[in-house]
Structures are given as structure tokens and as C-alpha cells.
Amino acid sequence: MVEELNPFKIAQEQLDSAAQIMDLDKQAHAILREPKRVLTVNIPVRMSSGETEVFTGFRVRYNDARGPAKGGIRFHPQENVDTVKALSAWMTWKCSLADIPFGGGKGGVICDTKKMDNRELEALSRGYARALGTDIGPEVDIPAPDVYTNPQIMAWILDEYMNITRKSQFGTITGKPVDLWGSEGRMDSTAMGGIFVMREAAKMLKLDPSTSTIAVQGFGNAGKFAYTLSKKIFGAKVVAISDSEGAIYDPDGLELEKLEAAKANHGTVQAYESKNAQKLTNKQLLELKVDILIPSAIENQIRGDNADKINTKLLLELANGPVTPEATDILFQKGVLDLPDFLVNSGGVIGSYFEWTQNITGYYWDTDRFYAELDKKITKSFYDTIAMQKTYADKGKKINTRMAAYIIAVDRVARAMKARGWY
């Protein structure tokens, strides 16, 4: 049995490693090990049965030295405060690495959206917004969609916030419907950013994405877009993909229409049918021999007990926290180019920054400009990370890409805290 891993302990361990390598000031380190603010709320909701159920929710503001907190909201039955704290920490480093004027935050509610109807979801969303009140806002803390939340849920939360404040502040929420001044390009910006990183990493490894084999763990928003964009932009061959029920593998490549039909008609991609299709477990998908592996599901998928079985040249962490610290070390020793989550999936928050900027200024972009700006931002982050790794290598100290990205991000936040007089 695999030991349950605490994501916040992992986030702290990652920070501790970076702090030691970069010789971070002890006072700054102490501040950065813990969130600035943790809010727990209880939300009563009258269910369609007539019974009232109380849901527990969280909002964590990890650090706002560089700007208002930024981070998504998850609706998940296994949500807990340690996961939210970890995600808010990673969000802090993600915004800093991307060099955008946000700090890190995150939110979550313990609920099972699959067992709730639309009316109940709306009531829960509005109740969560009322519980947070003015603890969110365009200059305070800016939520967005995450696991099992979507633009419609963001619209309900925004509307409730506007009812509370009596202000039309569309920049309070990002990932909104375009009809409420959401940004064109935002919905697939997480995956699109990952694809831009994949392009640059492939150049470095001398891989041709058009002839490379790709496995994607996860068929949610990020995973599906990763599949679609890999095919659309590079003509890549995605040979395996999974959902919570399991995985499907076809050495000849998978077809999106058949995957979507299998999911819609049978509830799982494992119902996909083709001449050479094989059902796999999620574990087996991760261990396939492929050129590029893209974990796009949940935390702690590649650990110390399976990292030595990973058989890929390039690992793109599109999910949050899919690789544990122990696994990171093993992959580095194996020579796998493992690019960290807060670089690879930063396209989502960069896209949210663009949406927020448009909301604040009232000047809106088309999709072409959005993608061009996203490409510029995330490509710079990739090369900043590789350059930092080389800087340490030149000093005779080999560090992995995660530590290189951490050093950049932590240093920027620490310098902002120092300038503000926090230590």
C-alpha cells in the first residue's frame, strides 16, 4: 500500500531544498514556509430534497508581497486544507516565475459535484462567495476555475460578489464566460502554455514533436486540450490517454472523436474501440515507453516507488504536483528532462493575468494577440529556468529544473518582502 503523501509537506520540502541551495535568508525562509492567511467557512445549502446540507470550504492567501493573491477554486469530495495550502504555495512560485504582479492563493470546497444538480451547484457557489465576502476582489484575491469548477460557476460567484459590493468589478474573477468579459484564449491557455514549453524543450532535446509519441494522463480540461493542441499544432501522435477509470493505449494513435464518444456514452475512455486498442491502468500509462509524457490529472502520481519505471525523454508536468521530491531526484539521475508544474502549467495564470489586465483597462484583445503574448511570457520563463540551471552547473553544482525554477521564483518573492520591510 502506497503511503498517503501530504501535498503541503511536499511543498515545504521543495522550498527547503531551494532555500538551502540558494542560501536564503532565514527570516525570509520562515515567512515563506507558511501561508499568510487561511480561511475556513461553512456553507449551508438547501438541497433539492428539501434538506439543508452544510459544506466546508477554504480560501488560502499564501503570499501577496508581489501583488493580490491569485488562484483557482476546486470543488472536490476529497478536498482538504493541506492540499489548498500546497496549491497556494505553488501558485506563489508560479506567478513569480512568470513574473506577473500576483501572489499565490487557492480555494476549495468539499463536495461531490457529480451528485449535485445545477440548482444546488449555483446555491453552493453563491454561498461560498457570500462566505468569502470582500476577502476576494481585483486588488485583494482573484479566484479562477480549477478541478470540477468552470466558467459558469465563476459567473455565479462574480454575480454574488457584485451583489455584495454593489460594484461592477469584472476583474474579481478570471476564467469567466466571454459574455462576462472573460478573455478569448483563456480556456485552453493552460494546455497552450504547456505546448509552447514542449516546443522549446523538444528543440533542446532534438525531438521532433510531429514524429514523437505522447502519453497524456488525464482527460479533463488540461489533458483534453493537451491532446487537441499537440495534434493540431504539431500533428503529434498521442498513443495513450486516461481518466479516473483507467487508460486506453493504441500504438497507431488515438482519435479525439472516438475518445469523446467513449466518454459520453460509457463514462470512460476505456470504452474506446480500435483494432489495436488496449486497456491499461493509470500506473501502466505512466510507465509506457514514449517520447513525451504529460501528467495532467492530480497530485503525487509519480513517486519514489514508480519513478525508476518512467520511460520517457521529456516529462511535462501539466497537473499540479504530479511528481514528488523523491521522484524528482530519481528522474534527474535517470536523465529525464522533467519540467516542473509551476513552469509548464503557468499558461493558465498567465492567461488569467491577461484577462484581469483587460478587465482593469477595459481594452480587450483578440485570440491571436493573447496567444502571442502567452508564447512570449512562458517561453522566457522556460529559458530563464534553463539559464539558472546552467549557472549552477558552471559553479560545479548540478541542480534539476525544479530547483532552478524555485530559485528564480523564491528570490523574486523574498526581494519583494525585503523591499516592503517584512523582514
Q: Could you give the residue numbers annotated as active site? A: 106
Please give the sequence-ordered ranges of beta strands (E in DSSP) within 244-277, or none if there are none.
246-249
For residue 196, give Cα distances in angstroms to 190, 209, 231, 252, 362: 10, 11, 13, 25, 28
Measuring CA to CA, how many Å separate 174 from each of 73, 170, 345? 11, 8, 16
- Hey, CA dihedral for 392, 396, 400, 402, is it positive or negative? negative
Cell numbers representing residue 400 in the block: 534539476
DSSP helix/strand/coil, 130:
helix
Tell me how many helices (H) and strands (E) the chain has.
Answer: 14, 12
Dihedral of alpha carbons 320, 355, 189, 174, sign: positive
The span from the CA of 201 to the CA of 35, in Å, is: 33
Q: What is the DSSP string of 95-124?
A: HHHHT-S-EEEEEEEE--GGG--HHHHHHH
> In Å, what is the CA distance from 99 to each residue of 41, 67, 186, 278?
31, 11, 18, 43
Separation CA 150–CA 148 (nearest Å)? 7
Locate 101 and state its grid cell.
Answer: 504582479
**CA–CA separation, 45 vs 125, rounded Å?**
10
For residue 357, give every residue at least 6 positions away whose Cβ sits within 8 Å of its Cβ, in sequence order, or none.
none
* Number of CB atoms found within 10 A of residue 373's CB: 17
Partners of 105 in beta bridges = 61
**CA atoms of 32 and 20, how far apart (whole Å):** 13
